[in-house]
Amino acid sequence: MRDVSFDTLAVHQSIKNKNHFTSKATPIYQTSSFSFKNLYELESYFEGETPYLYTRYGNPNTDELGAAVAALEGADAGAAASSGMSAILAGILAVAKNGDHIVACDDLYGGTYHLLDAELKNFGINVTFVSFANEQEIRDAICDHTKLLYTESITNPFLRAENIQMLVNLAKEFNIATMVDNTFATPYVLQPYKDGVDLVVHSATKYLGGHSDVSAGVIVGSEDLMQSVCQKIISLGANLSPFEAWLTCRGIKTLALRMEKQNKNAQFIADELKQNAYVQKVYFPEKVSKEGNGAIVTIELSSQCDVHTFFASLGWIKIVPSLGGVETSVSYPLGTSHRTLPPEAQEKLGINARVIRISIGIENPKEILNQLITAIETSLN
């Protein structure tokens, strides 16, 4: 390149890796496209001999993330997507089409509820919401066009632990698919695919990434089903960027350590707040797995507490609309995650102005508790 102009040299200055240097950490393949030496090499991609063409179609970093979560879930294959919501949509569209029907639990994350209740109608897919705590309600909702049962392993925000085996048995009986959002539990606590669930989805933004610095989704399942899911991600343009995939893979390396600590902290906080006279109710699952019950605690404050004062008195605990980071944070379901739910659905589920979802971090548990109690006591009328 010595004989070219500065202008050309500036464009072509990147080092071409001809020596295949090994790296302890996977490099970030921050590229929109992959280059080829000739047309024969280009054609080899379409013949399945070369893995990468264009990052929307696939990238080493996104492939690594999909494979990592598939391994943790015990699934055949996995794929990364731009968010948990895009992973959910890709999974649904891989199973259901115009004229089909889905039965979903009624105590879902608000964003998922809206997707199923409103957006899927534009695809000609109808959804019936019922209580998955009642097997008969599910049976009554299944019809000839039902293709999918959809739920969360630990529901948002009231933390009902789903009866996965019951759903799998029902699905087999009626020859329909199952899809479970395993975000709250993570593969550390539960592995629904091993119990027979067809598709397992994660908002990797939460615990898989773990540091509140990435938006990502991952979906895993059988090899055959994931081929369809991957095609939906490509066609919808729902792919994840290489850098965010790399960040999420880095976060996964500490998932077990973080979840062990956060689960223990959450159990401690739940047990202590149950004794507080100004906490009307504590929602926290029991006996989810031997690894713990998750790291979310949802509470309903007493009517003696002013919720605005509570949120204003949290000190170093952050107010956020999300969850799952290493820092303890609180969110307001009525005003954020479940804001778009129809009022009748909010009322049925019990989402009111005094319900607070607490994402427990890795801090000293007694200091987390003290901060929460200070906010509660300050909020008393």
d(Cα 314, Cα 353) in Å, to the nearest integer?
17
Does one domain contain both 323 and 201?
no
Total of domains in the chain: 2
Q: Which CATH number characterizes residue 72's domain?
A: 3.40.640.10
d(Cα 233, Cα 230) in Å, to the nearest integer?
5
- Give the pLDDT score at 1: 63
Residue 175 included in any domain: yes
Does one domain contain both 355 and 243?
no
| Residue appearing with tokens 């009307």 | 280
Among the three residues 252, 271, 303, which one is the final residue of a domain in this structure? 252
Phi first, then psi, for residue 106 (nearest 5°) are -85, -10
Q: Whole-model pTM?
A: 0.94
d(Cα 17, Cα 152) in Å, to the nearest integer?
44
Q: Taking each helix axis from N to C terminus, what angle separates 223-236 and 84-95, rounded to the nearest 10 degrees?
A: 120
Among the three residues 200, 232, 252, which one is the final residue of a domain in this structure? 252
Does one domain contain both 194 and 91?
yes
Give the domain range for residue 306.
255-378
Among the three residues 196, 224, 252, which one is the final residue of a domain in this structure? 252
Task: Transcribe 314-330 into DSSP letters.
Answer: -TTSEE-S---SSS-EE
Q: Which CATH number characterizes residue 329's domain?
A: 3.90.1150.10
pLDDT at 238 over 70: yes
- Give the pLDDT score at 166: 98
Q: What does the H/E/C string look like for 111-178?
A: HHHHHHHCHHHHHCCEEEEECCCCHHHHHHHCCCCEEEEEEECECCCCCCECCHHHHHHHHHHHCCEE
Q: What does the H/E/C string look like for 203-258?
A: ECCCCCCCCCCCCCEEEEECHHHHHHHHHHHHHHCCCCCHHHHHHHHHHHCCHHHH
Does one domain contain both 87 and 200?
yes
pLDDT at 279 over 90: yes
Mean pLDDT of the chain: 95
Does one domain contain both 182 and 279?
no
Does one domain contain both 293 and 326?
yes
Confidence band (pLDDT; 50, 70, 90) for 208?
very high
Does one domain contain both 270 and 245?
no
| Residue appearing with tokens 């009322």 | 347
**176's tokens:** 């329909």
Residue 49 included in any domain: yes
- Give the pLDDT score at 341: 86
pLDDT at 281 over 80: yes
d(Cα 300, Cα 277) in Å, to the nearest integer?
12
- Give the pLDDT score at 246: 96
* Cβ neighbours around 67 below 10 Å, total: 17
- Give the pLDDT score at 20: 64
Does one domain contain both 363 and 221?
no
Residue 14 included in any domain: no
Which pLDDT tens digit goes with each residue over 299-346? 999 999 999 999 999 999 999 999 999 999 999 999 998 998 888 988
pLDDT at 4 over 90: no
pLDDT at 365 over 90: yes
Does one domain contain both 96 and 157?
yes
What percent of the chain lies above the pLDDT cut of 90? Answer: 90
Residue 20 included in any domain: no
Confidence band (pLDDT; 50, 70, 90) for 12?
confident
Residue 108 included in any domain: yes
Residue 25 included in any domain: no
Residue 31 included in any domain: no
d(Cα 339, Cα 111) in Å, to the nearest integer?
9
| Residue appearing with tokens 């009626």 | 174
Q: Helix or strand or coil: residue 292?
A: strand
- Give the pLDDT score at 8: 76
Region for residue 8 given its phi and psi (left: phi exceeds 0; alpha: psi -120 to 50; beta: otherwise): alpha
Residue 178 included in any domain: yes
Does one domain contain both 199 and 116?
yes
Which pLDDT tens digit goes with each residue over 71-90? 999 999 999 999 999 999 99
Does one domain contain both 266 and 229?
no
pLDDT at 131 over 80: yes
Confidence band (pLDDT; 50, 70, 90) for 17?
low
Does one domain contain both 177 and 122?
yes
pLDDT at 18 over 70: no
Contact assessment for residue 241 and residue 29, using Cβ atoms and an 8 Å cutoff:
no
Contact assessment for residue 321 and residue 111, using Cβ atoms and an 8 Å cutoff:
no
